């Protein structure tokens, strides 16, 4: 093995892979078998975060940064003048095993530019995973990026070796895709997603009959969208997400703010990065859809196409729907408790447990750990202190922002001053 050349390839292909954020390793339950290497159920440290906030280490590389396509937003596009490299299948296998043995990594995230065509590339990605599993007896985590347009047969094989599969939709709207990635068609993403979903269902039902049936892609599938490259509103982005979660049973949709990398009149200019807060708000909305029982139409719609950056989406919804409040903490159902700003699902659970034994008052709620600076305006409990009524949404927002540590507070207060909204507020 030529170590200098491998090192050079690693530099190039690890750097090119850093733009892909869809590599959380959560959800897999693969355990060590036959005294093999690795155990993806007990992941540890490094480059990526799981759903529950753990940081795990994956060797995150591209098989190659050669590509036949010319997607405007991508560093790897064929017209971009960069140093190119490609790993051989065996090189990726050896690197993974060597890094694993040295305790640098706990798994592999393998993506690729497209050499020749989709199947030619996908075959090589699958070959890496197959060798790791069958020749090296590697039981660590493997996330394979599926190549848009790859055949059903290769997609089926990929899920037998990988823990997670993902096909990146990249651009949330068809119009944006046409503009920035004219070589790609939306069906090229949708077809493999549908295939993965069907295989997961089929293997699961076969396993019920035949115990030895393998689990297909045990950590499911995910996708990534680039935000801010093609002008979609937050509503367009999140409706696409909601569709993917429902239609393809996605485990996760990732939102990656576009980083301007080139002078191209179709794209935002260099120096106009998507604010981190926009990504955060999209993730919060995603969370509300998946765990809090919100429907996307409640959070984003024609009248409200973009998320507010200065307050979180649940508070924003509550301020637009004050007729649902205050909620009686001692009587409300789980769904309504989860809608109170400042109360997370863990607190909802604790409230439901605690109120079996006593009526809850402010002191109890504080002890449960709810965020009082937001919650106090939206609930009633077994005490009258703090109880507030008949405030407008603007007044509530001002009160909450005045007591929060948000970095947007200063900007919001200035804005209110301009409209004279900072007049003393009445209390009831
Ligand atoms: S196909 Fe993928 S790697 Fe190739 S240019 Fe488009 S986004 Fe980049």
**Would the pLDDT of 33 be above 80?**
no
Residue 421: band (very low, low, confident or very high) from pLDDT cuts 50, 70, 90 = very low
Structure tokens at 212: 């030895």
Residue 230 DSSP class: S
Token pair 């089926």 in the structure block, residue: 156
* Helix or strand run (H / E) with residue 397: helix 393-403
**Would the pLDDT of 49 be above 60?**
no
**Would the pLDDT of 56 be above 70?**
no
Mean pLDDT to the nearest integer, 391-402? 92
Instruction: For residue 86, list its beta bridge partners.
Output: 64
- The binding-site residues of ligand 1, defined as CB within 6 angstroms of any ligand atom, are 67, 69, 71, 74, 76-77, 113-114, 181
Total length of the chain: 428
Provide the pLDDT for residue 417: 35
Structure tokens at 242: 């909601």
Q: Is 156 exposed, middle or buried (0-12, 13-18, 19+ CB in 10 A)?
A: middle
Q: How far is the CA of 105 from the centre of ligand 1 (A)?
A: 26
Provide the pLDDT for residue 418: 32
Alpha helices in 18-82 (DSSP H): none
Q: How far is the CA of 130 from the centre of ligand 1 (A)?
A: 24
**Would the pLDDT of 409 be above 60?**
no
Encode pLDDT of 288-329 as tens digits: 999 999 999 999 999 999 999 999 999 999 999 999 999 999
User: How far is Cα 334 from Cα 287, in angstroms, rounded to an integer?
Assistant: 16
Phi and psi dihedrals of 143, rounded to 5?
-115, 120
Provide the pLDDT for residue 40: 46
* Helix or strand run (H / E) with residue 247: helix 234-248
Q: How far is the CA of 126 from the centre of ligand 1 (A)?
A: 18
Provide the pLDDT for residue 296: 97
Residues 6+ apart with CB under 8 A from 248: 193, 194, 196, 197, 221
Using alpha carbons, list the distances in angstroms from residue 197 to 184, 204, 390. Answer: 21, 11, 49
Provide the pLDDT for residue 304: 96
Q: For a pocket test of ligand 1, which of 12, 17, 74, 148 has the largest count of ligand atoms closer than 8 A to its C-beta?
A: 74
Encode pLDDT of 161-182 as tens digits: 999 999 998 899 999 999 999 9
Q: For a pocket test of ligand 1, which of 76, 117, 188 has the largest count of ligand atoms closer than 8 A to its C-beta?
A: 76
Question: Which percentage of the chain shows pLDDT scores above 70?
Answer: 85
Strand order in the sheet with 141-145: 59-62, 107-111, 141-145, 164-166, 221-227, 252-257
């Amino acid at each position: 093995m030529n170590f200098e050349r491998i090192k050079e390839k690693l530099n190039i292909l690890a750097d090119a892979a850093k733009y892909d954020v869809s590599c959380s390793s959560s959800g897999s339950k693969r355990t060590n078998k036959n005294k093999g290497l690795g155990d993806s159920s007990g992941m540890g440290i490094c480059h990526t975060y799981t759903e529950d906030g753990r940081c795990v280490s994956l060797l995150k590389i591209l098989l190659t940064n050669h590509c036949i396509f010319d997607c405007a937003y991508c560093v790897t596009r064929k017209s971009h003048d960069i140093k190119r490299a490609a790993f051989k299948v065996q090189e990726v296998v050896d690197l993974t095993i060597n890094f694993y043995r040295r305790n640098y990594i706990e798994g592999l995230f393998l993506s690729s530019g497209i050499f020749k065509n989709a199947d030619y590339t996908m075959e090589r990605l699958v070959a890496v995973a197959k060798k790791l599993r069958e020749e090296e007896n590697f039981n660590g985590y493997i996330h394979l990026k599926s190549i848009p347009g790859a055949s059903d047969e290769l997609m089926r094989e990929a899920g037998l070796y990988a823990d997670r599969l993902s096909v990146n939709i990249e651009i949330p709207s068809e119009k944006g895709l046409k503009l920035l990635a004219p070589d790609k068609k939306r069906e090229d993403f949708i077809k493999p997603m549908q295939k993965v979903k069907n295989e997961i269902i089929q293997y699961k039902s076969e396993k019920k009959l035949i115990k030895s049936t393998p689990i297909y892609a045990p950590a499911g599938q995910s996708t990534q969208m680039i935000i801010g490259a093609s002008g979609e509103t937050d509503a367009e982005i999140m409706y696409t997400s909601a569709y993917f979660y429902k239609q393809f049973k996605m485990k996760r949709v990732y939102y990656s703010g576009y980083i301007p990398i080139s002078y191209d009149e179709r794209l935002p200019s260099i120096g106009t990065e998507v604010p981190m807060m926009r990504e955060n708000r999209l993730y919060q909305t995603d969370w509300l859809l998946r765990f809090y029982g919100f429907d996307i139409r409640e959070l984003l719609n024609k009248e409200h196409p973009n998320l507010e950056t200065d307050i979180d989406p649940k508070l924003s919804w509550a301020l637009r729907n004050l007729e649902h409040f205050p909620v009686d903490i001692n009587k409300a159902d789980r769904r309504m408790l989860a809608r109170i700003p400042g109360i997370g699902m863990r607190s909802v659970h604790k409230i439901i447990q605690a109120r079996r034994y006593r009526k809850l008052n402010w002191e109890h709620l504080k002890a449960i750990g709810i965020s009082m600076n937001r919650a106090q305006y939206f609930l009633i409990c077994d005490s009258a202190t703090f109880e507030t009524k008949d405030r407008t949404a603007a007044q509530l927002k001002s009160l909450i922002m005045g007591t929060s540590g948000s970095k947007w507070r200063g900007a919001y207060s200035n804005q209110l001053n301009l409209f004279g909204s900072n007049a003393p507020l009445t209390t009831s």
